């Protein structure tokens, strides 16, 4: 534990990441690779909670913009995160990692209900806790769920795993002159409307002095590098 920069983390992954190169769904090879990455970090003694989006299966916001009732669409999105959580659980257990899926919406036949004290106890026992179904409420994103769960379980940082290697002043996929930030404050990220996390999640993290590290999930070993203190991606902290 002494060699770890963060001994308890909340890892936020997008659902789209689980699709790999596919337009939607779950790619078995991709999810197995992520499982190995997370297992390697768990072996170091780092306690890990996960929040996974559902965008590879269903996006509530997009569906509501196309005419579906927003509340119904958001609940469908929450159910998609449960599917992803179960898939990640399977991948982790194939790596020998003990896991628990805990949901904000009760479905006891497939997962435990999310209870904060129980989640913390699982972490203390070395289990990876997968927090699914967002906050259990419509109108809140999985970014906000990640910030909320991180504070509840007293994580030392949120690790935001993305497809790019940090936070840029504009979309690096569309602009070759995009400039990467090595470090930002929460307030800077809010004022500049940078795509770190949504504004609710950023505000929660800022109010509770919770660092956010944004990094490329698809670079092998990056999660371990962040946890052990290497300079990877962009860190958002301080300067409230």
User: Residue 180, CB half-sphere, CA atoms under 13 Å: how many?
Assistant: 14
CB 33 within 8 A of CB 161: no
Average pLDDT, the chain: 94
CB 222 within 8 A of CB 163: no
Token pair 């768990």 in the structure block, residue: 42
Whole-Å CA distances, 6 to 2, 51, 161, 225: 10, 17, 16, 11
Confidence label for 63 from pLDDT (cuts 50, 70 and 90): confident
Token pair in block for residue 198: 């949504």
pTM over 0.85: yes
Confidence label for 64 from pLDDT (cuts 50, 70 and 90): confident
Burial of 185: CB neighbours in 10 Å, binned 0-12, 13-18, 19+: middle
Domains detected in the chain: 8-236 (3.40.1160.10)
CB 212 within 8 A of CB 10: no
pLDDT at 238: 83
pLDDT at 2: 47
Confidence label for 240 from pLDDT (cuts 50, 70 and 90): low
Torsional class of 216: left (φ above 0), alpha (ψ -120 to 50), beta (otherwise)? beta
Confidence label for 239 from pLDDT (cuts 50, 70 and 90): low
């Amino acid at each position: 534990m002494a060699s770890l920069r963060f001994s308890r983390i909340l890892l936020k992954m997008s659902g789209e990441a689980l699709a790999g190169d596919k337009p939607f769904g779950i790619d078995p090879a991709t999810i197995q690779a992520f499982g190995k990455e997370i297992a390697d970090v768990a072996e170091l003694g780092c306690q890990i909670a996960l929040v996974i989006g559902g965008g590879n299966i269903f996006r509530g916001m997009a569906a509501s913009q196309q005419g579906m009732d927003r509340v119904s669409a958001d609940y469908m999105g929450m159910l998609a995160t449960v599917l992803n959580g179960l898939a990640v659980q399977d991948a982790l257990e194939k790596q020998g990692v003990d896991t628990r899926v805990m949901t904000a919406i009760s479905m006891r036949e497939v997962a435990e209900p999310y209870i904060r004290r129980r989640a913390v106890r699982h972490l203390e026992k070395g289990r990876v806790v997968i927090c699914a179904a967002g906050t259990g409420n419509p109108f809140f994103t999985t970014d906000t769920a990640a910030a909320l769960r991180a504070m509840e379980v007293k994580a030392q940082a949120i690790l935001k795993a993305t497809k790019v290697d940090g936070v840029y002043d504009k979309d690096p996929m569309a602009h070759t002159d995009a400039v990467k930030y090595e470090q930002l404050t929460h307030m800077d990220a809010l004022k500049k409307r940078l795509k770190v996390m949504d504004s609710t999640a950023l505000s929660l993290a800022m109010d509770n002095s919770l660092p956010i590290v944004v990094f490329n999930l698809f670079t092998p070993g990056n999660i371990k590098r962040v946890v052990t203190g290497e300079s990877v991606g962009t860190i958002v902290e301080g300067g409230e």
